[in-house]
Amino acid sequence: MRRLFVAVALAFMLATAGFACAPTKPPPPGCGPDHPISAEVFQMVNDARAQVGARQLAWNCAAGQFAHDWAVHIAQGDYRHSGGPYGENIWTTHCGITAAEIHFAYMTSPAHRANLLDSRYHSGGVGVACNGATNVLGNAEEFAF
């Protein structure tokens, strides 16, 4: 029930936020973004891809879960790439940062920007996690071919 409420709330926020591109197809129940910031970052990735003519990413349940799990890992202090099965962007910062600030950091890094705009990707997922004890936020973007 909580996931349904979050999904409806996210849909409302995205629909009323004035995005230039239509939102992507919503994920199946129970596999959507782990946090409102994840949903916002995912939409910003698709907006950026649309601006360069790359296809919109579909939400990938497995990649989304992997991104969430790796974001938790990062927030616990292990800042490194996962070595997992996906193309990956990771970032760590302080809790309380906005989706726009996360996306800006990726877009101003040439390697991260190239990765998220790679037209070969067809799906992906985003995860964020905040470690309240250390105020460390971990973020992972996972991209699938």
Q: Is the pLDDT of residue 70 over 80?
A: yes
Task: Confirm if 89 and 140 have CB atoms less than 8 A apart.
Answer: yes
Query: Could you give the CA distance from residue 116 to residue 54 in angstroms, rounded to a whole number?
Result: 10
Q: Is the pLDDT of residue 75 over 90?
A: yes
Single pTM value for the model: 0.79
Count of Cβ atoms closer than 10 Å to residue 20 Cβ: 7
42-70 in b/e form (b: 16+ CB < 10 A) is bbbbbebbeeeebebbbbbeebbebbbbb
For the segment 36-61, the average pLDDT, to the nearest whole number, is 96
Mean pLDDT over all residues of the chain?
84
Amino acid identity, position 88: E
